Amino acid sequence: MCGIVGYTGPKEAYPILIKGLKRLEYRGYDSAGIALLNSAGLNIYKKKGKVADLEEFIIGKNTHGNTGIGHTRWATHGEPSDRNAHPHRSAGGKLAMIHNGIIENYNQLKQELLNKGYSLQSDTDTEVLLNFIEEIKNKNQCSLEEAVRIALKRVTGAYVILILDEENPDTILAARKGSPLVIGIGKGEHFLGSDASPMLEYTREVVYVNDYELAIVKPDELILKNLGNETITPFVQKLDMELAAIEKGGYQHFMLKEIHEQPHTLYDCFRGRLDAEAGLITMSGVQQYADELVHAKRIIMVGCGTSWHAALVAEYLFEELCRVPVEVEYASEFRYRNPVIRQGDIVVAISQSGETADTLVAIEKAREQGAIIFGVVNVVGSSISRITHAGAYTHAGPEIGVASTKAYTAQLSVLTMMALNIARMKNTISEENFLHLLKELQQIPEKVSWTLQHNQHIKDMAQKYKNAKDFLYLGRNLNFPTALEGALKLKEISYIHASGYPAGEMKHGPIALVDEHLPVVFIATKDKVHDKIISNMQEIKARKGRLLAVITEGDTATKEICEDTMVVPEADERVAPILNVVPLQLLAYHIGVAKGYDVDKPRNLAKSVTVE
């Protein structure tokens, strides 16, 4: 969480920083701020609210400066307010700092500062760290760089920090542990960001800074060091991201754009991997660890939120197709247990951002205990993609809307291909079944496209249900996770309470909630449990619940018992979760919009959860 941006070079920094912050706003939008250096010194502007509020606040103020840093915040320590917004200024007045992450031992550091007579202006861990650095600099009469090195050795937690110093007006000092930092290399200028989006129109050359590295960034020089003060040669990589991918392209919201992009993102995900005509799946990451994957006694899947739902779908697929036991774990729980991991266990870590703190730590823990880690990640070059042994990118492109949509369907596609690939190597799938599923997968982008044509119908439905106080989502088998995902989307975007449940469990408790006001959304497409689902629907109807369902095209019998339906084309049940979630994404989106909410930036959330 929190987006950070920086610039040093011959241009005016302010417009670059503001534009960069708008692109990083998906990471947090509780407050925003900017620090600019010019010959007169340091100007800091910050404001509670979104970047647009900051921009309005700055109108008419001095924004001159060729070096600057900017921050968009997701609050951890201290409520969202002007006072707690970043950048923070040091007590001595010459340093300004922004921070993404959490300083876990900040209380201890704070106490040390208070004992020395410091008084703090905010409730943040960031201001504590900044003054701790300044205190070391003053006490040791050393450079800022040296002071940062000493201070960071005392710090526990996660951080990316960017510091400006009035005494070095063209330099940004940056350091990272656990939160992402990208440095863009221009001609006589450098850009810094939580991701590469703020620098896309200026450079294609970037350096992904690693944990425990410190960067001294000047217009025409980039020095990278470790905390032991040894110089490191920066590894320059070429950016493979287009500007259009991070713009709305005519859609009202990123979320709607991303839902509609799915036929293309799924196609991109299959390209070069799935060849139904030749009967082939080629996944280089799987090939690399083929032996280990084939002989794995157990696969543990970890993730959070939507990525955890993808893991649940994969559990059904891997167990059925590969005949291997699968455990699905919330990364946030897994890491604090004392999980039994044996040599040769495979851990599959699933993450859109590749930066989720809980997932990162879970991986580290499993790795220490000898597991092989396979990543299913969307963001290329992200932290998770770099600490796994092997993996497969989902190729969904940048996902900006906080509610995950296209990344989820791409995760399901990658995991399905993985299961098929491993099953074939293990001989746990018949040739006929394998070829049939390849064809089914290949047809998915087209079927998603067909489903999206019913957008207007779902928009109309949204008007009807927008005032409901609660929703229940029910599904069985592979569509139980679809029910969970549908409910999560609605909660996130519309702030309506929604629960996802296995349809068969309904009678063990949740059925008590059913009355004539409760919309119950069934995932009732044609599959082997269809009859059971119909019985569950009748049970709801008998208690006057409002029946909604995702149904298979042409299933008039199911349509007749529902108040409203959302239609998808027929698909094999093992690939159907990729398709069935699409109408539920649209339903959540349209209800959120109908209620007047900012669906791309739902309250209290952030896209990339880099705190525990």
Interacting residues with ligand AGP (CB under 6 A): 304-307, 351-353, 356, 359, 402-404, 492, 609
Closest C-alpha to 202, from 422, 444, 9: 9
What would the DSSP string read from start to end of 542-596? HTT-EEEEEEETT-HHHHHH-SEEEEE----TTTHHHHHHHHHHHHHHHHHHHTT
Tokens read off for 592? 């959120």
Cα 577 → chain centroid: 20
Query: Least distance in Å: CB of 257 to ligand AGP?
Result: 15
Output the CA–CA distances (angstroms, integers) from residue 193 to 3, 6, 69, 76, 250, in the order listed.
7, 6, 10, 20, 26
- State which residue, 84 or 306, has the beta carbon closest to ligand AGP: 306
| Helix or strand holding residue 326 (H, E) | strand 326-330
Query: Least distance in Å: CB of 351 to ligand AGP?
Result: 3
- State which residue, 263 or 305, has the beta carbon closest to ligand AGP: 305
Closest C-alpha to 303, from 404, 219, 381: 404
Considering 50, 257, 601, 607, which one is annotated as catalytic?
607
- State which residue, 304 or 548, has the beta carbon closest to ligand AGP: 304
Residue at shortest CB range from ligand AGP: 305
Annotation says 532 is catalytic:
no
- Is the CB of residue 173 less than 8 Å from the CB of residue 215? yes
- State which residue, 36 or 410, has the beta carbon closest to ligand AGP: 410
Query: Least distance in Å: CB of 365 to ligand AGP?
Result: 16
Query: Least distance in Å: CB of 49 to ligand AGP?
Result: 21
Which residues lie below 8 Å from residue 336, measured CB to CB, with a gap of 6+?
none
CA distance 349 to 385: 9
Which residues lie below 8 Å from residue 298, measured CB to CB, with a gap of 6+?
324, 325, 326, 327, 342, 345, 346
- State which residue, 131 or 383, has the beta carbon closest to ligand AGP: 383
CA distance 194 to 6: 10
Q: Is residue 411 left, alpha or beta, with left meaning phi > 0 and alpha meaning psi from -120 to 50? A: alpha
Query: Least distance in Å: CB of 307 to ligand AGP?
Result: 4
Query: Least distance in Å: CB of 396 to ligand AGP?
Result: 11
- State which residue, 131 or 307, has the beta carbon closest to ligand AGP: 307
Is the C-alpha dihedral spanning 286, 288, 294, 296 positive or negative?
Answer: negative
**Residue pointed to by tokens 């005519």:** 250
Radius of gyration of the chain (CA): 25
- State which residue, 126 or 585, has the beta carbon closest to ligand AGP: 585
- Is the CB of residue 492 less than 8 Å from the CB of residue 588? yes
Query: Least distance in Å: CB of 461 to ligand AGP?
Result: 21
Considering 2, 269, 304, 562, which one is annotated as catalytic?
2
Query: Least distance in Å: CB of 4 to ligand AGP?
Result: 18
- State which residue, 179 or 404, has the beta carbon closest to ligand AGP: 404
Closest C-alpha to 390, from 378, 380, 376, 369: 376
What would the DSSP string read from start to end of 132-164? HHHHHHHHHT--HHHHHHHHHHH--EEEEEEEE
Instruction: List beta partners, residue 5.
Output: 70, 193
Angle between helices 480-494 and 576-594 (to 10 degrees): 20
Q: What are phi and psi of 257, to 5 degrees?
A: -60, -45
Query: Least distance in Å: CB of 463 to ligand AGP?
Result: 23
CA distance 306 to 394: 14
- State which residue, 402 or 458, has the beta carbon closest to ligand AGP: 402
- State which residue, 356 or 558, has the beta carbon closest to ligand AGP: 356
Distance, first Cα to last Cα, the chain: 10
Q: What are phi and psi of 146, to 5 degrees?
A: -65, -40
Strand pairing class (88-89; 31-38): unpaired
Query: Least distance in Å: CB of 488 to ligand AGP?
Result: 6
Strand pairing class (41-48; 31-38): antiparallel
Annotation says 2 is catalytic:
yes
Query: Least distance in Å: CB of 438 to ligand AGP?
Result: 26
- State which residue, 493 or 514, has the beta carbon closest to ligand AGP: 493
Which residues lie below 8 Å from residue 278, measured CB to CB, with a gap of 6+?
none
- Is the CB of residue 224 less than 8 Å from the CB of residue 213? yes
Q: In what order do the strands lie in the sheet with 564-568?
A: 497-502, 470-475, 519-523, 546-552, 564-568
Active site residues: 2, 607
